[in-house]
A = this chain, B = another copy of it.
Amino acid sequence: MKKPTILVLGAGYGGLMTVVNLQKKLGVDDAEVILVNKNDYHYESTWLHEASAGTLRPDQVRYDIKDVIKSDRVKFVKATVENIDVNSKKVATTAGDLTYDYLVIALGFEGETFGIEGLDKYAFSIANVNAARQIRDHIHYQFSTWSLEEERDDSRLTIVVGGAGFTGIEFLGELANRIPELCAEYDVPREKVRVICVEASPMVLPGFDPELVDYAKAQLQSKGVEFSIGTPVVQATPEGVKIKTGEEEFDFIKAGTVVWAAGVRGNSLIETSGIESNRARVRVEKDLRAPNFNDVFIVGDCSFMINEEANRPYPPTAQIAMQQGEVAAENIIALMNGRETKTFVPDIKGTVCSLGDEDAVGVVYGKKLTGKKASFMKKVIDNRALLMVGGPSLVLKKGKFNLL
């Protein structure tokens, strides 16, 4: 009998956890496991705000895929997925077409600009390692250009962060710590630099405990971050962003750097795959399979699940993606052996939002934390992700040890 082919698309948290669990639980002859990824490295997408602000080097937020897969059990294909067709069971990639018996789609998120004019052209997005590196280098270039100019344009030193959600706030936390360093490096007076968070909705960190939100906002403000809340960005231009401040009132913020960190969607390849989706996210069955396609699993940010207790969707987090990867692997093995699949139930251990290296807010095992304790837990969570995928050796290599 021919070995079944398990094709995993994407080596983010969800895809890599699927593969790592498959290679742990399957014998060499049980299946052919193929992992397709654009890069030959995995990156910690939850650490990209640090690489973007320049507080972590890009090579610190990624590791080689070959370090965590066993080459006798998993075939790695470095290629970009170009099309998915679940009806004909065909995946087109830059390295040729692939077919499968079981497919795991783990292609992650894309930035969502909600059709706002100019954002796709004039705003940066904390989308991947390359994008993070560009944001960092762009900010450096603005600082060095300001220092050199005869007639100085102070708006070069203004950074607008669109979005006061998780990513926006974490990025602001890193920036707030990084700015004084940049000012020293580039001979820029601190008061010339503005960091402004613009948010459409009336609140910061929606879904977080109000006490923690107040703490986070106050801490960032004490480091000079300004907030413009309830003022949607309506247009981005090469000079900055136009925001709506009232019924018919608008304001323009001149800024040398605009980073859009508001809203994500699933990978757009989903939308042409034949699977029903909304903003490229698939409302998966209880066992993580795509509706109507019994051989297709969706894990991570391309999947969508309702938390019935809270009556709202689960957020797209690394924590859930990793748990999904584990269950997807188990369920594929169950199907291979004619057993029933199991229901995926997220186990939310906690959520911590970093506010820079030594500060954070969050809830862990039901307990509210702020400051150094929260920051400590954040690093424990970051290291745990490494441990689950690559074991202790990966933690030693890429872990965060500045715990206190």
A interface residues with partner B (beta carbon < 8 Å): 39, 58-59, 130-131, 133-134, 136-138, 140-141, 143-145, 147-148, 185-187
List the B side residues contacting A58 at CB < 8 Å.
185
Q: How far is the CB of A81 from chain B (nearest CB, A)?
A: 14
Question: Of the candidates B134, B144, B185, which one forms a contact with A144 in the assembled complex, judged by CB atoms under 8 Å apart?
Answer: B134
Q: How far is the CB of A151 from chain B (nearest CB, A)?
A: 13
* Alpha-carbon distance A39/B130, docked complex (angstroms): 36
Question: Of the candidates B59, B131, B140, which one forms a contact with A137 in the assembled complex, judged by CB atoms under 8 Å apart?
Answer: B140
New contact pairs (8) apart from A131-B148, A134-B141, A140-B140, CB-CB < 8 Å: A39-B187, A58-B185, A133-B144, A133-B147, A137-B137, A137-B141, A137-B145, A138-B144
* Alpha-carbon distance A124/B151, docked complex (angstroms): 17
Q: How many copies of the polypeptide does the oligomer hold?
A: 2
Closest 3 CB pairs of A and B: A134-B144, A130-B148, A133-B144
Question: Of the candidates B59, B134, B140, B144, which one forms a contact with A148 in the assembled complex, judged by CB atoms under 8 Å apart?
Answer: B134
Contact (Cβ within 8 A) B133 A186: yes
List the B side residues contacting A144 at CB < 8 Å.
130, 133-134, 136-138
* Alpha-carbon distance A134/B156, docked complex (angstroms): 14
Pull 13 A–B residue pairs with CB atoms less than 8 Å apart, ordered by A: A58-B185, A130-B144, A130-B147, A130-B187, A131-B148, A133-B144, A133-B186, A134-B141, A134-B145, A136-B144, A137-B143, A137-B145, A138-B141
Question: Of the candidates B131, B133, B140, B185, which one forms a contact with A59 in the assembled complex, judged by CB atoms under 8 Å apart?
Answer: B185
List the B side residues contacting A186 at CB < 8 Å.
133
* Alpha-carbon distance A202/B130, docked complex (angstroms): 41
List the B side residues contacting A130 at CB < 8 Å.
144, 147-148, 187
* Alpha-carbon distance A130/B145, docked complex (angstroms): 8
Which residue of chain B lies nearest to A149 when distances are taken between CB atoms in the complex? Answer: B130
List the B side residues contacting A131 at CB < 8 Å.
148
Which residue of chain B lies nearest to A136 when distances are taken between CB atoms in the complex? Answer: B144
Which residue of chain B lies nearest to A145 when distances are taken between CB atoms in the complex? Answer: B134
Q: How far is the CB of A148 from chain B (nearest CB, A)?
A: 4
